[in-house]
Structure 1
Amino acid sequence: MNAKKIRRITFQTFGYFILGVTAIFCVYPALWVLMSSFRPGDSLYGETLIPTAFTLIHYEELFVKYPFIQWYGNTLKISILSMMIGTMLVLMTGYVLSMFRFKGRKNLMSTLLVLGLFPGFMSMIAIYVLLNQMNLLNTHAAVIIVSAAGAPLFFLYSKSYFDTIPRSLIEAARIDGAGHLGIFFGIVMPLSKPLLVFAVLMNFTGPFTDFIFSKLVLRTSEKKTLAVGLYDMMTDKTKSQFTMFAAGCVLIAVPITLLFLFLQRYLIEGLTSGAEKG
């Protein structure tokens, strides 16, 4: 066995070792929360990872003691509406910046890219004041508007994907008399299924898992989302209910996990297809 082959085997072994360690660090916390949701009692810690006895009482109490179904409905409502509006905004922004050439285009793209680099919480005080003046505090509309309005800041992946679509198709459609909306919905979107799936998932999971802004805006129990409701449940100083919190985390994670597993092929295509042309 020559030195080159030994070096290659060594690097591969080291790479598999790093991947294995990373997988353990990623999987263990999720497995720990899952097992905790079935552990009797309400303790944060357990003697073993796998409980000696299993119970479903925490899942039952989650629906009996708290308006968990209402929190779930609020979260789905905000996520679905934000996803619909945000997806259209980010796709149309990417389409315009990809297909059209106009004065100030590069400056606009640079501005959007720079704004997208700033953490969202830096503008929360200003947004809070604006929502207060518009009488939108403690409303789902406030979260939907802000979530959807921030979507165009991440236009780059949609623009990069649209750059790969042959211009000959667009020009042929214009010669046939198609308008901009007709070209966008009739030609571009059918060719952009991976991008559409990626945009839908990203604009859905963002509001679905958002906590900071929802906590700032939503105050009353009937308006809370899952993240805010579970946080308030854990910070209740009169009760210690970690296992019930773990059960809520599992119920939140299951649909998102299944959705990602089902659409992961389209996610990978949507991320990599735009890499051919900038």
Structure 2
Amino acid sequence: MTSYQPLPRKHSRSSTVVVTSILYLVLAITVLIVLYPVAFTISAAFTETNSLAATSIVPWPSKPSLYQFQRLLTPSDQMVPGTNNVRGTNYVVWYRNTLKIAVMNTLLTLAVCVTSGYIFSRFRFKFRKPLMASMIVLQMFPSFIGMIATYVILWRINGLNSHWGLVLVYATGSVPYSSWLMKGYFDTVSRNIDEAARVDGASPFVTYVRIIIPMAKPMIMFLALTSFTGPWMDFIFPRLILRSDDKKTLAVGLFELINGRANDNFTMFAAGALLVAVPFAILFMAGQKMMLQSLAGDGVKE
């Protein structure tokens, strides 16, 4: 019977160094692929000229300038400071419209989907399973399939070219997925907590508001972030519903800056895209901290 002969430690160390070097190389390439477009966008945003031909492969402007930001933040009825024939844009108006729509959509989605998820999780009533199954079926179809029906409904209720009509489309479209998401999370919360609250004299509404919702803060924060970011990225429905320039969102407004052969506002488009990322960065940093605090603080010891 032969005994086990381990490999020499020298070979083991050399193989570990090779594997580690390969992993670092793959990680460096991945970081470069992810960060290079961001760096190129930042470089284009701080370029004084309008055309992307003035930018180089190296993401660093030769003469950094805030000219593109000045053009964006100057109202359309005024001239850009330091110029005679260059007018500003409605970027501030588009930004305000998108922020308002995102906040309204977040509040409405949270109010409807968190409550419906709790109801589906805790209560048993007639047609409960058919309703849940129908939401799954509705989620399987892409949203643009019902664009014509959505347009006709909004036309009938005078919701065209209005922000509340767009919020209604976003909120109703997110009900199936978000309700199932919250239901799945509430299913993981022990029902003993509800029963203990009822023994102490709390009503179902008080139990839901003061006990269950604080325990669901991580998932509620995730749902709030996804509901807030949706309107910033969407282009199809705002393009379909909104008509006047003072009602447009950032996606539609920025697209029109570069739409057409005569438009060469690509560097201004980069500056506008860079400013769009500001609320995302703030919210994700604040949300991450809150989610970690909620996960660390919540729980029941048995």
TM-score normalised to the size of structure 1? 0.87
- Structure 1 match to 2:153: 130
Give, in angstroms, the shift of residue 114 of structure 1. Answer: 2.9
Q: Partner letter of residue 252 of structure 2?
A: V
Q: Partner letter of residue 284 of structure 2?
A: F
- Structure 2 match to 1:141: 164
Relative to structure 1, the CA distance from residue 261 to residue 224 in structure 2 (aligned partners, 3 Å threshold; closer, same or farther) is same
- Structure 2 match to 1:70: 93
Give, in angstroms, the shift of residue 117 of structure 1. Answer: 2.8
Give, in angstroms, the shift of residue 215 of structure 1. Answer: 1.0
CA distance in 1 between counterparts of 2:238 and 2:190 reads 41
- Structure 2 match to 1:29: 37
Give, in angstroms, the shift of residue 148 of structure 1. Answer: 1.1
Q: Which secondary structure does the structure 2 equivalent of 1:150 belong to?
A: helix
- Structure 1 match to 2:130: 107
Give, in angstroms, the shift of residue 181 of structure 1. Answer: 2.1
Contact 1:198 1:266 in 2 (8 A): no
- The range that moved more, 156-165 or 170-179, is 170-179
CA distance in 2 between counterparts of 1:43 and 1:7 reads 50
CA distance in 2 between counterparts of 1:164 and 1:34 reads 43
- Structure 1 match to 2:194: 170
CA distance in 1 between counterparts of 2:262 and 2:105 reads 35
CA distance in 2 between counterparts of 1:205 and 1:92 reads 21
- Structure 1 match to 2:104: 81
Indicate the structure whose relative CO is greater, using CA pairs within 8 Å and at least 6 residues apart. Answer: 1
Contact 1:197 1:270 in 2 (8 A): no
Contact 2:215 2:294 in 1 (8 A): no
Relative to structure 1, the CA distance from residue 127 to residue 50 in structure 2 (aligned partners, 3 Å threshold; closer, same or farther) is same
Q: Which structure 2 residue ranges, 5 or more long, are not aligned?
A: 1-8, 75-87, 296-302
Contact 2:47 2:61 in 1 (8 A): yes
CA distance in 1 between counterparts of 2:126 and 2:26 reads 49
- Structure 1 match to 2:79: none
Relative to structure 1, the CA distance from residue 182 to residue 215 in structure 2 (aligned partners, 3 Å threshold; closer, same or farther) is same
Give, in angstroms, the shift of residue 218 of structure 1. Answer: 0.6
Q: Partner letter of residue 53 of structure 1?
A: K
1:235-246 equivalences under 5 Å are 235-246=259-270
Give, in angstroms, the shift of residue 270 of structure 1. Answer: 8.9
Select 2:141's aligned residue among 100, 109, 118: 118
- Structure 1 match to 2:49: 41
Give, in angstroms, the shift of residue 225 of structure 1. Answer: 0.8
Q: Which secondary structure does the structure 2 equivalent of 1:130 belong to?
A: helix
CA distance in 2 between counterparts of 1:8 and 1:90 reads 50
- Is 1:159 aligned with 2:167? no
User: Which of the pair has more CA radius of gyration?
Assistant: 2
Select 2:252's aligned residue among 207, 228, 237: 228
CA distance in 2 between counterparts of 1:14 and 1:101 reads 55
Select 2:28's aligned residue among 10, 20, 33: 20
Contact 1:62 1:244 in 2 (8 A): yes
Contact 1:82 1:148 in 2 (8 A): yes
Q: Which structure 1 residue ranges, 5 or more long, are not aligned?
A: 272-278
Relative to structure 1, the CA distance from residue 229 to residue 15 in structure 2 (aligned partners, 3 Å threshold; closer, same or farther) is same
Give the share of equivalent positions with the same residue, in percent: 37
RMSD after superposition? 2.5
Contact 2:105 2:228 in 1 (8 A): yes
- Could you say which structure has the higher helix fraction? 1
Q: Partner letter of residue 255 of structure 1?
A: P
Q: Which secondary structure does the structure 2 equivalent of 1:40 belong to?
A: coil
- The range that moved more, 131-140 or 229-238, is 229-238
Q: Which secondary structure does the structure 1 equivalent of 2:52 belong to?
A: coil
TM-score normalised to the size of structure 2? 0.81
